[in-house]
Amino acid sequence: MNYFNRYRYGRMKIILLWLCLSASVSAGERQTIDLSKQVTLTELIKAGLTGSPSIAIKHAEWKAIVERYPQAKALQDPILRYDYFGESVETRVGPQVQRLMISQSFPFPGTLKTKAKLAATDIAIKQLEYDLAVREFIVKLKVIYYEIVYLQSAIEISKQNQQLLSHFAKEAKTEYAKGSLNLNSLLKAETQAAQIQYDIVLLTELKTLELSKLYLLVNLSEKSKLGSFKMDALRLQKRSYKDYEKLAQNNRQEIKVATLKLEKAEKKIKLATLKTRPKFTLFSSYVETDEAEMPVADSGKDPWTVGIGFTIPIWYSKNKAVRREAKYMRQKAANEKVLVENKTSLQLKTLLFKLRNSRRLITLYDKTLIPHAKHALDISENKEKSAKKDLSQLVETQGIWLNFNLARLRAVIDYQQTLAKLESLTAVSLTKERK
């Protein structure tokens, strides 16, 4: 299947999707959505594909480049020429009054076919760039979405802890007034409560900032309603580096684009050679002649001509430079392809390291740190209820338990965000099923 056929097959699927999604949204208009009950990633992606200006730009670029195909395979417009003889040319059969000429140029055989192939390659490249824009949009959306999930959950955990610390601080004041609690323990409880209050304010402002990013990315109006953000199920990956590398090499749009650009450069070498070959022009003319003053045979007969012309490519240095330029551009495309492949490999190794590290942290917090912190907190709470209560230790263990839970949540979000970036690198979904 050639590039143009592949383009038409892919174009049919994507344009149908585009029409379904964009039927109700006008260009430049911010859309309004209502997800006041719960925000899901699927709904946001759907809204983004409908209203994102960045995707609309790439879609318009793709549609524009499609229109170059019929231009590339067409001949130049014919030339129609009219001459009026201000001073008639006298001939034996009469004076010539006016002349009409038409000509049509033809490139060297194979030139138009090669231009059409280049145009089809450009269409395939633009289609991939459109797919890439959709992919990058989804990745950015996922990263922002998961960050909001983290901030939302961190605020909830901090508020729960704030309630406990407020209770501890009040109790600390009571115990201090009785003389059964030293000043350091009281200050620790109050300081911890103040720190939690600051953390909540900071987390709330960060969430507002991330929501602003989301509104701009998805092109939402201020009238849109967003409720709580749902945490997706954590799907731990078990693929090897070779598996991811194979996915990236087979599916990543950047590699496909680099490959097509290399093939395009090779076609341009052929086109450069064809451009240095003769170009042909067919022409025909008709001359209107008035009647002769003297009666002669063929008086007033209108002559007509047909002819052929062609260019003579005699400027050897110029023609040779055209071919050299095409070859250098081919070398550039070949090295760009290698560069993209090397960059993909490095990015893949970096993301896999981050993914493994986040997974190790999740395991560490789930199996060791959080259970131990919970055990220590339970002991401190039991002491607080007994005669041996130590409020200072309870505040400290409560803070440790909170920090471990927040750190575990951060590791989960980092894993989800890294997985989204890994999906971008491999250009396939990695979260549809467990592997």
- pLDDT for position 10: 45
Per-residue tokens: 14: 């994507």
**244 and 301, same domain (yes or no):** no
- pLDDT for position 402: 86
- pLDDT for position 262: 93
pTM for the whole structure: 0.77
Decide if 403 is inside a domain. yes
pLDDT tens by residue, 256-286:
999 999 999 999 999 988 888 999 999 999 9
**228 and 121, same domain (yes or no):** yes
**213 and 198, same domain (yes or no):** yes
Decide if 113 is inside a domain. yes
- pLDDT for position 218: 87
CATH for 161: 1.20.1600.10
Per-residue tokens: 276: 């240095």
**Residues counted in the chain:** 435
- Please identify, among 290, 312, 334, the residue that sits at the C-terminal boundary of a domain: 312
pLDDT tens by residue, 373-393:
888 877 876 765 554 455 667
- Residue 288 pairs in a beta bridge with 98
**135 and 257, same domain (yes or no):** yes
> Which residue ranges in the chain fall short of pLDDT 50?
1-27, 387-388, 433-435
**235 and 354, same domain (yes or no):** yes
Decide if 433 is inside a domain. no
- pLDDT for position 185: 62
- pLDDT for position 209: 94
Rounded distance between C-alpha atoms, residue 419 and residue 355, angstroms = 7
User: Is-contact 148 210, C-beta < 8 A?
Assistant: yes
Number of domains comprising the chain: 2
**364 and 379, same domain (yes or no):** yes
**101 and 115, same domain (yes or no):** no
Decide if 196 is inside a domain. yes
- Please identify, among 264, 286, 312, the residue that sits at the C-terminal boundary of a domain: 312
Decide if 183 is inside a domain. yes
Decide if 226 is inside a domain. yes
**421 and 290, same domain (yes or no):** no
- pLDDT for position 382: 72
**301 and 410, same domain (yes or no):** no
**197 and 285, same domain (yes or no):** no
Q: Residue 163's domain spans which residues?
A: 3-74+107-277+313-426
- Please identify, among 312, 330, 364, the residue that sits at the C-terminal boundary of a domain: 312
- Burial-class residue 38 by CB neighbours within 10 Å (0-12, 13-18, 19+): exposed
The alpha carbons of the chain give a radius of gyration, in whole angstroms, of 37
Answer positive or negative: Cα dihedral of 303, 308, 313, 319.
Answer: positive
- pLDDT for position 5: 47
Decide if 135 is inside a domain. yes
- Burial-class residue 87 by CB neighbours within 10 Å (0-12, 13-18, 19+): exposed
Decide if 172 is inside a domain. yes
**307 and 320, same domain (yes or no):** no
- Largest Cα separation within the chain, whole Å, is 143
Q: What one-character DSSP code corresponds to residue 294?
A: S
- pLDDT for position 179: 64
Beta pairing, strands 34-39 & 225-229: parallel
**99 and 221, same domain (yes or no):** no
